[in-house]
Amino acid sequence: MARIAYVNGRYVAHRKAAVHVEDRGYQFADGVYEVIAVRAGRFIDAEPHLDRLDRSLGALRIATPMSRSALYHILHEVMYRNRIENGIVYLQVTRGVARRDHPFPAKAKTALVVTGSRKSPLDSRILETGVNAISVLDNRWKHCNIKSISLLPNVLAKQAAREADAYEAVFVDEEGFVTEGSSTNVWIVTSGGELLTRELDHGILAGVTRETVSKLAEHLRLAFAERRFTLEEARGAREAFVTSATSCVTPVVRIDEAIIGNGEPGSTARALFEAYARYMEGGDAAA
């Protein structure tokens, strides 16, 4: 079955989908994006994703492309036309097409592209093995809270992880504190049993899955706090894991050469993985 994309008012064959060469997303990375997971034919946390989209657009002073209800219709149509039972829907919004010039164009029309793809749910066998991660210097701009399409440092970090046969690259700032992963939020369980993830600031993206997992942690009555932690704390942690719409809850068993805990996924990651799986299936996440 041929894939279908939505591009600025039209549903077109994915292989023929295109934007203008002077779209400011192409010229300046002047745009934002969201990735919404689909499980059993329904969106996971669509409202929080679209709320974050609005915040990112507002931060960059890009006009919303359409009403929330109209955007929902397009998202569902892309999911339906691509027969996505499990997978993702990706949407990208840019300032639009204009003659190449750094300042905002006076009459730009916001551009919207939506694509979808099938993707198998995260395999629970990850709970048996976990994944490896590497650390890299966080050399990104100071507004990582905006979900910008300007992702070159993230791309280089993820490539470094791939070349090291690792799943993720963990960004570390100049003070030695972990910020986030190249495409995930990072969590640890301290030697004292406290679940930690970095507090929200301009150094990280407010992950939608991060927020959901935070609520699940409360349901499970886990000792939980939001605060900064160092790379050395992460390497010496009892457990570590990363979260995102596509990674769900993925246990990390090694960072660089440091083995996390006993080198196996721990009980906290397992409990949150299972709770999040129930949440995605529409069941009782607190059971």
- The catalytic residue positions are 147
Residue 248: which region, alpha, beta or left (left: phi > 0; alpha: psi -120 to 50)?
Answer: left
Q: What b/e sequence results for 95-116 when a residue is b if at least 16 CB atoms lie within 10 Å of its CB, and e otherwise?
A: bbbbeeeeeebeebebbbbbbb
Q: How far apart are CA 38 and CA 280, in angstroms?
A: 9
| DSSP letter string, 198-239 | PPPSTTS---HHHHHHHHHHHHTT--EEE---BHHHHHT-SE
CB 122 within 8 A of CB 88: no
Report the alpha-carbon angle 255-151-110, nearest 5: 150
Beta carbons of 208 and 267 less than 8 angstroms apart: no
Residue pair 171/183 in contact (Cβ under 8 Å)? The answer is no
Q: Output the CA–CA distances (angstroms, integers) from residue 63 to 35, 76, 118, in the order listed.
A: 19, 22, 30
Environment class of 200 (CB within 10 Å of its CB; exposed 0-12, middle 13-18, buried 19+): middle
Task: Return the DSSP state at 78.
Answer: H
> What contacts 126, CB < 8 A, 6 or more positions away?
250, 251, 265, 273
Rounded distance between C-alpha atoms, residue 174 and residue 136, angstroms: 11
